[in-house]
Amino acid sequence: MDHLQTDIDSLETEKGQLKEKLKSIGKKTISVSGTDSMMGSTSITSTLDNKYYVQEINALKQALNNEHQQKKKIMCAVLRQKLDRLEPLPSPTNLKSLDTKIQELRKKTTDLVKVIIV
- Helices and strands, number each (H, E), in the chain: 3, 0
Q: Tell me the pLDDT tens digit for each residue of 14-70.
A: 898 888 888 887 666 555 455 554 455 566 667 777 888 889 999 999 999 999 999
Structurally, how many domains does the chain consist of? 1
Which is more confidently placed, 94 or 88?
Answer: 88
Q: In a 3-state reduction of DSSP, which class is residue 36?
A: coil
Find the domain containing 34 and state its range. 2-117
Question: Region 86-94: what's the mean pLDDT?
Answer: 75
- Give the per-residue pLDDT at 69: 95
DSSP calls for 85-105: HSPPPPPPS-HHHHHHHHHHH
pTM over 0.85, yes/no: no
Q: How many CA atoms lie within 13 A of 43 on its CB side?
A: 13
Is the confidence at residue 113, as pLDDT, over 70? yes
Give the separation between CA 108 and CA 15, rounded to whole angstroms.
62
- Smallest CA-to-CA distance from 13 within 69, 60, 54 is with 60
Residue-averaged pLDDT of the chain: 81
- Which H/E stretch holds residue 78? helix 40-85
